[in-house]
Amino acid sequence: MKKPNNHILVIFGASGDLTYRKLIPAVFDLFNQNVLPEKFAILGLGRTQLSNDAFRKKMEEGIDKFALNNEGNSKNNQKKEFLKKLNYYGFNTKEESEYAGFKDHLLKLNAEVGTENNFIFYLATPPSMYTIIPCHLAKHGLSNEDDGFKRLIVEKPFGYDLETALKLNESLLKNFNEEQLYRIDHYLGKETVQNLLVTRFSNAIYEPLWNRNYVSHVEITSSENIGVGNRGGYYEGSGALRDMVQNHLLLIAGLVGMEPPALINSNSIRNEIVKVLQSIRPIKEEEVENYVIRGQYIGSTIKGQPVKGYRDEQGVDPESRTETYVAMKFFIDNMRWANVPFYIRTGKMLPTRVTEVVIHFKPTPHHLFASNSSITQQQNQLVIRIQPDEGLLLKFGMKVPGAGFNVQNVNMDFHYSELADTYLPSAYERLLHDCMLGDSTLYSRGDAVEAAWKFVKPIQEAWKKNDQIKIHGYPAGTWGPDVADDLIEEPHLTWRYPCKNLANDGNYCEL
């Protein structure tokens, strides 16, 4: 892997959970692979006053718990070396007048380490700070690239709806150029999400079939078997539509649906993703009820243990109408996908944690073995498993050995775990390293974020205006409201009910 230029990674919100659980462990994993620049430092910022030592101690705990690769004595020595690169500066990041002191501190560290005025600013703060911090940085000359690179990483949520996203983009672009902006969608950092591009465009066998002539429908599921935990306060203002659909799931749909990019570079790939998002047929407000199902988990018993319903979670309104589950059907109005339904669903407190894409192929035009088969209509499926048990599975019909021509479905599967010595880097590891190299391919571009919000807007409006639209309760630990099955057009088909193990599905597998 290439080594980035010398720089300082400046983290706003350094005393928060994201820094502790994801960012520092990911940078440590990069350090372990020897892919950080020779001259490198991290400067954590926050309102809490902490000494460098106290910050290092807390981050060491995070590394021990969450780094992927920190076992053994040599790793212990590595950790000591790495922790020396961590620094902390406490100040009120809201107050412009305090930025002069911060800048002095940053430039001093820059001179000490020799990082050549190259800075990455990471906003791991509450979203209310996304307009304030970049503006203060720019006022103090810290977005100016004359003397070194200045990049800004912005975490999701990128806006609350179309209007706020537009305003946020406008405000960021007043202070930084699009080329300096890195909007994180951590799903793009997942190895298996990137593999969607390779599966599609490096294999001659899939691409000819990847269109309306051969695909009957596409299914994308991202289920979680946990509830909102201690994030109830945040989730109440978000819900599954904003939290998962507007970003992660639409992005996956973009990668499944896109045309081959002209080149493997940031603009070519992002141009194709945005075209897909702009081609999704808008769901009119009055149609929302027919195309979108929302649900909320209610208390139940899982493996003999009682579990809380969403409304009983900490920080949640006891009469909340926030959705913890969304399933929807939409169409991509372009030459490749005309009239092919895309079904996507996501939810909390479902039976298992799985993210996967299923390409359902059309049946053969003539069902030759109909009388001998228990399967009414053979349909091949290609399952692209994003997590867990990452891999690929093709389902096809095979003759049952013996008399007659009985057909049975069998699997052909590949699991990443079968590759010897494969290390699957964490999403943050990949994305941070890309930003250090100045590669924004796996970050969302402003126009894509806006297109996704535009699609989601009528759904948000319909839910806001029409409280007759049901929010279906589903018992925690089940696959969500049954009515979601009715979204699927073909009466004999339903969602795939995935299990932890890629090769299994159905309602009875071990989860």
User: Which residues are catalytically annotated?
Assistant: 248
- 101 or 237: CB nearest ligand BG6: 237
Least distance in angstroms from the C-beta of 472 to ligand BG6: 20
479 Cβ neighbours under 8 A, 6+ residues apart: 223, 350, 351, 495, 497
Q: Measuring CA to CA, which residue among 175, 174, 171, 173 is closest to residue 163?
A: 171
How far is the CA of 65 from the CAs of 70, 171, 362, in angstroms? Answer: 9, 37, 46
How far is the CA of 336 from the CAs of 209, 211, 270, 333, in angstroms? Answer: 10, 5, 18, 8
Q: Residue 191, interface with ligand BG6 (CB under 6 A)?
A: no
Least distance in angstroms from the C-beta of 116 to ligand BG6: 34
Q: Residue 390, interface with ligand BG6 (CB under 6 A)?
A: no
Where are the extended beta strands (E) located within 340-476?
341-347, 354-361, 381-387, 391-399, 407-415, 471-475
Least distance in angstroms from the C-beta of 23 to ligand BG6: 14
Q: Find out whether 129 and 94 touch, Cβ atoms under 8 Å.
A: yes
Q: Kindly determine how many residues on this chain lie close enough to bind ligand BG6 according to the rule CB under 6 A.
A: 3
Least distance in angstroms from the C-beta of 406 to ligand BG6: 40
Residues 239-268 contacting ligand BG6, CB under 6 A: 243
Rounded CA-CA distance 3/21 in Å is 24
Q: What angle do CA 161, 288, 272 make, to 5 degrees?
A: 60
Rounded CA-CA distance 498/313 in Å is 27
**Residue whose Cβ sits closest to ligand BG6:** 243
- 191 or 224: CB nearest ligand BG6: 224
Task: Tell me the two tokens of residue 350.
Answer: 């479902």
Least distance in angstroms from the C-beta of 267 to ligand BG6: 25
Q: Which amino acid is at 244?
A: M
- 113 or 456: CB nearest ligand BG6: 456
Least distance in angstroms from the C-beta of 390 to ligand BG6: 12
Q: Find out whether 406 and 399 touch, Cβ atoms under 8 Å.
A: yes
Question: 388: cis peptide before it, omega within 30°?
Answer: yes
- 243 or 272: CB nearest ligand BG6: 243
Least distance in angstroms from the C-beta of 243 to ligand BG6: 5
Q: Which H helix or E strand runs over 322?
A: none
361 Cβ neighbours under 8 A, 6+ residues apart: 209, 214, 215, 216, 379, 380, 381, 382
Residues 4-63 contacting ligand BG6, CB under 6 A: none
For ligand BG6, the binding residue among 60, 224, 429, 450 (CB under 6 A) is 224
Q: Find out whether 389 and 501 touch, Cβ atoms under 8 Å.
A: yes
Least distance in angstroms from the C-beta of 431 to ligand BG6: 12
**Where do runs of H (alpha helix) occur along 162-238?**
162-175, 191-201, 232-236
Least distance in angstroms from the C-beta of 460 to ligand BG6: 17
Over the window 337 to 356, marking each residue x when it contacts ligand BG6 by CB under 6 A and - when it does not, the resulting string is ------------------x-
Residues 92-111 contacting ligand BG6, CB under 6 A: none
Q: Residue 450, interface with ligand BG6 (CB under 6 A)?
A: no
Q: Residue 429, interface with ligand BG6 (CB under 6 A)?
A: no
Calculate the dihedral angle through the C-alpha atoms of 29, 30, 32, 37, rounding to the nearest 10 degrees.
Answer: -150
- 222 or 278: CB nearest ligand BG6: 222
Rounded CA-CA distance 174/156 in Å is 19
Count of Cβ atoms closer than 10 Å to residue 208 Cβ? 9
Task: Tell me the two tokens of residue 181.
Answer: 């902006």
Interface contacts to ligand BG6, rule CB under 6 A: 224, 243, 355
